[in-house]
Amino acid sequence: PKSMMQCRPPAPLPRPEVQPLDHSNYYSSIEATKDFFRETYEFLKENEQCECGLRLSDSELALGWTIHRSHDPATLNHIFFQLGDTTTWDMPVDLAYILNIKQLKFIAYLCQE
């Protein structure tokens, strides 16, 4: 004699789930109006690094001055200031009074490292 499972007709397949109209197989939708090139360019520019290891956006100061870390073994990781061909270990006096809070905190952070 046949068992009950062998006599029964096969069960119907499950029905496909109804997907909402805005559903897609992607994890997020793509913004067609978004300027991906400009956004990527701005991200790369913001994170571009100087050869001393600091981000260019952080190293650029007022009046054309920049701040850098030394890679010379005798002064490794000491900071210095540069304006064109002029370099100095001390912060220029004319620069000290016009830096914003973010720049001052960044310089203080570099001095503590």
Dist CA 108 CA 100 (whole Å): 12
Average pLDDT for the chain: 85
The per-residue pLDDT for range 68-110, each reduced to its tens digit, is 999 999 999 999 999 999 999 999 999 989 999 999 999 999 9
Tell me 85's DSSP state: T
Q: What pTM does this model have?
A: 0.63
Confidence of residue 28 (pLDDT cuts 50, 70, 90): low
Q: What angle do CA 28, 30, 32 make, to 5 degrees?
A: 160
The per-residue pLDDT for range 29-81, each reduced to its tens digit, is 677 778 888 999 888 888 899 999 999 999 999 999 999 999 999 999 999 99
